[in-house]
Chain A
């Protein structure tokens, strides 16, 4: 409630009407002040008139049909993304890397604040769905954006980039040449039915090494950050993404997404292998997974992707290595080429997806 000397402010009276404010002082005042009782009556009339006007709109909306095509057809394609996202997060967490396309910028920032990389190729890491799930759960519980702000000085755009509808011309401006489907599966329209884009953003991070190490001890992680990191500042450029979606009339769908690399700079001389181990422990990743990641010879330019039974399998896409993730009703291919991460997925067969991806 606001402070007032003679009469309560209008907002307080309005809140009384909505039973949002319970004030004995205000009630006593109303009992003794005809002016404020009149104000309250006027506000009540205004509220009733508003309700009457808006009820027509609300009724119209309540009777409006809910779209019948989009949800059922979009979901399989999007669930592909959703299911892959945690899959990639698991590896990224354990490896201190991120699948640039598949996880949100904050998580990417958290996972990568101390690494330097511009991923140009992928490596596969044998793991299990349970290990991935456990790592994701651990990190979700442990690393919140609020905590990151406590452990590091972060500057950059207040609002994180999100995927927004866009036009073909704007997408080309953002990304340059886009991957063109080599062959569109039957039943899909010739042109994408929807375009989306996410712009990149630049963040500067200055980790508080002492605070981080104190926090790590509290989490029961035996390792700690190297003192060399004190006073270092890192610049993180989150990836730009362009996604196109084709929706067929028969429930099939295709999504092609293309992302620039996440770039982290300012980390010269830092032992990525050591940091990868630290992050792996924080995520509770199995020792075998951490070992595999630490053995990747060129961590700064390699994107580890998880493979294994019920996870995904290595596949050759043209001249490069990628990973195929089978998903109920469809699947998805992920690979890196020419500085971009590509995602081709949807409610299609493996052969159809490969035909889209490979010329």
Chain B
């Protein structure tokens, strides 16, 4: 896997967790930079290493509250200076159709705590409890409990968002 492939996977992981292209770009760049700083020969599995690092970076960023809350990913690209001059804005109607569900889920995720959000998304990606625990700084034995609670909270928030009378 070359560097660009590693970056692509890392960026997508960051985008999934953060929901904001600009912050995902920063987190992915930081993670890959750290990998290079380690020396490529010293990390046995760069892909797994990057997954861990970018998950922790995302968790820290969410906890710092730096993310722009509530910004749907479809809109985020329009505010991204590195993309805006390169790609034509998507058709609004098309965006509404294709991304309405994503917007609802993202909005619900935004209402969760950083830990609940990360646990759900990392588990959805198939990460084992041990890696999830490392990313959110908890014991592996606690992940099951936290996961079950987070699932209930996501369901509650999603229903609130989906049933809200005033939607864009």
Q: Give A contacts to B, CB under 8 Å.
A: 1-2, 9-15, 18, 20-21, 43, 46-47, 49-51, 53-58, 60-62, 64-71, 74-75, 78-79, 82, 85-86, 104, 140, 163, 165, 193
B86 at the A interface (CB under 8 A): yes
Interface string of B111-154 (1 = CB under 8 A from A): 00000000011011100110000000000111111111001101
B67 at the A interface (CB under 8 A): no
Interfacial chain B residues near A61, Cβ < 8 Å:
12, 15-16, 73
Q: Are B145 and A20 in contact (CB under 8 A)?
A: no
B165 at the A interface (CB under 8 A): no
CB contact between A70 and one of B29, B37, B39 (< 8 Å): that residue = B29
B42 at the A interface (CB under 8 A): yes
16 A-B pairs within 8 Å (CB atoms) are namely: A9-B145, A10-B148, A11-B147, A12-B144, A18-B123, A20-B140, A20-B143, A46-B155, A56-B101, A60-B73, A60-B102, A64-B77, A66-B11, A67-B21, A68-B86, A104-B37
Q: Are B82 and A50 in contact (CB under 8 A)?
A: no
Closest to B124 in A: A54
State A65–B143 Cα separation when bound (angstroms): 32
CB distance from A328 to the nearest CB of B (A): 14
Q: Are B148 and A14 in contact (CB under 8 A)?
A: yes
Interfacial chain B residues near A67, Cβ < 8 Å:
11, 21, 25, 80, 82-83
Closest to B4 in A: A71
Given known contacts A10-B144, A60-B99, A85 and B37 CB-to-CB distance under 8 angstroms: yes
B54 at the A interface (CB under 8 A): no
Interfacial chain B residues near A60, Cβ < 8 Å:
73-74, 99, 102
Name the residue among B108, B123, B144, B151 with the largest chain A CB count within 10 angstroms: B144
CB distance from A277 to the nearest CB of B (A): 27
How many residues on chain B are close to A (CB under 8 Å)?
55
Given known contacts A21-B144, A71-B7, A85-B37, A50 and B25 CB-to-CB distance under 8 angstroms: no
Q: Give B contacts to A, CB under 8 Å.
A: 3-4, 7-8, 11-12, 15-16, 21, 25-26, 29-30, 33, 36-37, 39, 42, 73-74, 77, 80-83, 86-87, 99, 101-102, 105-106, 108-109, 120-121, 123-125, 128-129, 140-148, 151-152, 154-155, 158
CB contact between A58 and one of B26, B124, B140 (< 8 Å): that residue = B124
State A58–B108 Cα separation when bound (angstroms): 15
State A62–B124 Cα separation when bound (angstroms): 13
Closest to B129 in A: A20
CB distance from B156 to the nearest CB of A (A): 11
Q: Are B11 and A56 in contact (CB under 8 A)?
A: no
Closest to A43 in B: B148
CB distance from B64 to the nearest CB of A (A): 9
Q: Are B8 and A66 in contact (CB under 8 A)?
A: yes
State A85–B36 Cα separation when bound (angstroms): 11
Given known contacts A11-B148, A50-B124, A66 and B86 CB-to-CB distance under 8 angstroms: no
Q: Are A11 and B155 in contact (CB under 8 A)?
A: no
Given known contacts A53-B105, A60-B102, A82-B36, A14 and B147 CB-to-CB distance under 8 angstroms: yes
Interfacial chain A residues near B82, Cβ < 8 Å:
67, 69-70
Closest to A15 in B: B144
CB contact between B145 and one of A11, A55, A75, A78 (< 8 Å): that residue = A11
CB distance from B63 to the nearest CB of A (A): 11
Q: Are A140 and B42 in contact (CB under 8 A)?
A: yes
Q: Are A58 and B125 in contact (CB under 8 A)?
A: yes
Q: Are A57 and B141 in contact (CB under 8 A)?
A: no
Q: Are A56 and B105 in contact (CB under 8 A)?
A: yes
Interfacial chain A residues near B42, Cβ < 8 Å:
140
CB distance from B2 to the nearest CB of A (A): 12
Given known contacts A54-B124, A57-B109, A71-B7, A15 and B129 CB-to-CB distance under 8 angstroms: yes
Interfacial chain A residues near B128, Cβ < 8 Å:
20
Other than the known A55-B124, A85-B37, what 18 A-B pairs have Cβ atoms closer than 8 Å? A1-B141, A13-B144, A14-B148, A20-B140, A20-B143, A46-B155, A47-B151, A53-B158, A54-B105, A54-B124, A56-B105, A57-B109, A60-B102, A66-B11, A69-B86, A74-B29, A78-B33, A163-B30
Given known contacts A67-B83, A70-B29, A70-B82, A51 and B124 CB-to-CB distance under 8 angstroms: yes
State A79–B3 Cα separation when bound (angstroms): 13
Q: Which 5 A-B pairs have the closest CB atoms?
A: A11-B145, A11-B144, A15-B144, A14-B144, A54-B124
State A139–B25 Cα separation when bound (angstroms): 32
Interfacial chain B residues near A193, Cβ < 8 Å:
81
CB distance from B48 to the nearest CB of A (A): 18
